[in-house]
Every structure is written in structure tokens, then in C-alpha cells.
Amino acid sequence: MLHTTNSSLTHPSLNSPIIHALFGGTFDPIHYGHLRPVEALAKLAGLKQVILLPNHVPPHRPQPEATAQQRLEMVRLAVQDNPLFTVDTRELQRQTPSYTIDTLKSFREEVGEQCPLAFIIGQDSLQAIHTWHRWSELLDICHLLVCSRPGYSKQLSTPEMQEWLEQHKIDTPAPLSHKSHGYIYLAETPLLDISATDIRRRHQQGLNCDDLLPPLIQNYIDSQQLYS
């Protein structure tokens, strides 16, 4: 059973199998740099639905400023009128933090072996992917869909990682629905120079954030006196 809100994940009217796409993040707070590139990616790759997965941040890592409940509420507010997105709370509901690979495995079990499953990340996350727990197994479970992010090269940092990328890279999104996992698609998405870190800093300094995140989230941040 998927812990999602909004509509069903199956689209029987489509001939090609639906791609189940997940987008994880700390979302402290969620901003246009998350939403706009993923919306563009969805158009490019024909994604009908994207499941947002707010992270459970492990205690040994720097903690988000907002609580898990506040981060979840901001994610929900950001997408409440956008049918592309649903929200899955499984990582937040766990008592212990889970690795991305484990979350992906739990989705894989739910959607079955044949169904295309994709995990969306920004280019900065692709650059750092070799630091993720059991990163080399990710493509055994899902595709990776990568959004452009300003300041991050499309080349990876070592010849070994670049070779891994070349082995799995596809130049068009079409093959994504033909296989259940194993491809990397570097999407040409709009470049938005926005980060949650910068938004938190701007809030603290009383600077305007109008172009950085939806008004509903700004109102929520103000009402909760977050990032002050």
C-alpha cells in the first residue's frame, strides 16, 4: 500500500507502462528550485505523477531548522493544487532514518519487478552520488532522472564515475518506459539558482524571497516564525 495522497498511480489508458517517479529531499523549505525543474522534467519524460518524499534526517547529520511536521506541511501546501505531485510520508513515519536504497526497495516491492521506477535528483546530488550508501546498487532498482542545477557540471568528478555515467546514460527519455531500471537521463531543465540554505539565510536577514518559493509557503514560514 503506497502512503500517498491524491490520485491513483495507474493509468490504464496509456499504452506504455507508467513511470513511477520519486523525488526525495529535506525540503527545509521546498522551493521553486525543486518544483520548476521537476515540472519541466515531467513534461520531457512524460511523467504523469511525481511522488515527493520528505527525508528523515539522521541524528548525526546537521538537523533541518523546521521540524519534520513543518517540512511535510510545507511540501503539502506547495503541491496541494498541482495534480502532478503526491506526497509520501514513509521516511518521516519511520522511527529510524532509512537509506535511499531501502526506500527505493520498498517502492520496488510495491510496484512489482516490471514497472519502470525512477528517482529524481539534482545535478549536485549526481555529483555526490558515490558517497551514498550502496550507491552502485541504485540502478539495479530504478532509473535516475537528473535535473540541471546552476554551478554543477554534467561531468562527474573521477574517470571511474564518468565511465559509470556513460555506461548508463540515455540521450532521450524514450527508453525509460521500456525498462524497469538502469538508465540515467540528464534532463535539460530550467536553471534556477535557488537553494533552501539561501532561503533560510535570506529570511533571517529579512530579505525578499518572492521569486524563490510559493506565497503559501512564505505565509506558513511567517506564521510559524521559521528561519528567523
Residue 145 as a binder of ligand ATP (CB under 6 A): the answer is no
Q: With respect to ligand ATP, which residue has the nearer C-beta, 27 or 183? A: 27
| Cβ partners under 8 Å of residue 124, min gap 6 | 149, 151, 152
Residue with cell 538502469: 182
Site string for ligand ATP, 9-28 (x = CB under 6 A): ----------------xxxx
Task: Determine the residue with CB nearest ligand ATP.
Answer: 122
Residue 125 as a binder of ligand ATP (CB under 6 A): the answer is yes
Sole binder of ligand ATP in the list 116, 122, 173, 182 (CB under 6 A): 122
| Cβ partners under 8 Å of residue 20, min gap 6 | 9, 49, 51, 107, 111, 115, 116, 117, 118
Q: Which three cell numbers stand for residue 118?
A: 525512477
Residue 147 as a binder of ligand ATP (CB under 6 A): the answer is yes
Residue 34 as a binder of ligand ATP (CB under 6 A): the answer is yes
Q: Is 71 buried (19+), middle (13-18) or exposed (0-12) by CB count in 10 A? A: buried
Residue 149 as a binder of ligand ATP (CB under 6 A): the answer is yes
Rounded to a whole number of angstroms, the minimum distance from the CB of residue 96 to ligand ATP is 20
Residue with cell 557540471: 153
Rounded to a whole number of angstroms, the minimum distance from the CB of residue 54 to ligand ATP is 9
Contact 154, 126 (CB under 8 A): no
Enumerate residues 181-200 that contact ligand ATP by CB under 6 A: 192, 194-197
Residue 127 as a binder of ligand ATP (CB under 6 A): the answer is no
Long-range contacts made by residues 127-136, C-beta under 8 angstroms, separation at least 24? Answer: 127/152, 127/153, 127/156, 127/157, 129/161, 130/158, 130/161, 132/99, 132/100, 132/101, 133/99, 133/100, 133/101, 134/99, 134/101, 135/101, 136/164
Q: With respect to ligand ATP, which residue has the nearer C-beta, 7 or 157? A: 157
Residue 131 as a binder of ligand ATP (CB under 6 A): the answer is no
Distance, CA of 117 to CA of 198 (rounded, Å): 31
Sole binder of ligand ATP in the list 5, 124, 132, 186 (CB under 6 A): 124
Q: With respect to ligand ATP, which residue has the nearer C-beta, 18 or 192? A: 192
Q: With respect to ligand ATP, which residue has the nearer C-beta, 143 or 149? A: 149
Residues found near ligand ATP in the complex (CB under 6 A): 25-28, 33-34, 37, 121-122, 124-125, 147, 149, 192, 194-197
